[in-house]
Amino acid sequence: MKNMDWKTLKSERVLEDRWISVRSDVCQMPNGRLVEPYYVLDYPDWVAVVAITDEGEVIINRQYRHGAGRTILELPSGTVEPNEDPAETVARELLEETGYIFDKIIKTGETSANPSNHSNIAHCFLALGGRKIAEQNLDESEEIEVNLVSLDRFGEMLEGNELLQAMHVTSAFYALRKLDKMKGPDLG
């Protein structure tokens, strides 16, 4: 196979804070052509989870998202802390955002929001056997309304484009595929 990887000849941080780091790279393509500047957004990894309670209900969060300028429905999600396993992030975020703990957390896939200029990965999960044990413990910039919907209603929400966040939609499809596989072959 032909090598298509670029070489980074120079990299400079343009912006850096807790949530994002932007760098400007000088890149060389295998054919020798230079690409500059090439901006890369360095985010921490993210997680999104389809969380199903003991009663078979899916947790859907409703919250304001400033980038979109509106309140939207989405899955419980969050940012992976340095040296934190993404499955631990899921458990932590579920407890903080919803007050629920889960018996089983299953990784269902990985995706990238935009691999052309985002360096991070979004880890997708399915959580089963949820029980509410606490009240929410939100960051001061968070206001999250927790909603419980049936699995059938969750499917309708996906088909009706009621979830806007692309990585959450992807995570939902991965989780539904995993649930179908867990049921086994249809013998009917």
Catalytic annotation present for 140:
yes
Q: Looking at residue 38, what DSSP letter applies?
A: E
CA pair distance 96, 93, nearest whole angstrom: 5
58-to-85, 136, 164 alpha-carbon distances in Å = 23, 17, 17
Which member of 55, 84, 88, 140 is catalytic? 140
* Phi, psi of 62, rounded to the nearest 5 degrees: -120, 125
Half-sphere exposure of 178 (CA within 13 A, CB side): 20
- Are 147 and 55 in contact, with CB atoms under 8 Å apart? no
| Residue ranges of E strands in the chain | 7-16, 21-28, 34-42, 46-53, 57-65, 70-74, 77-79, 100-111, 122-132, 145-150
The set of catalytic residues is 140
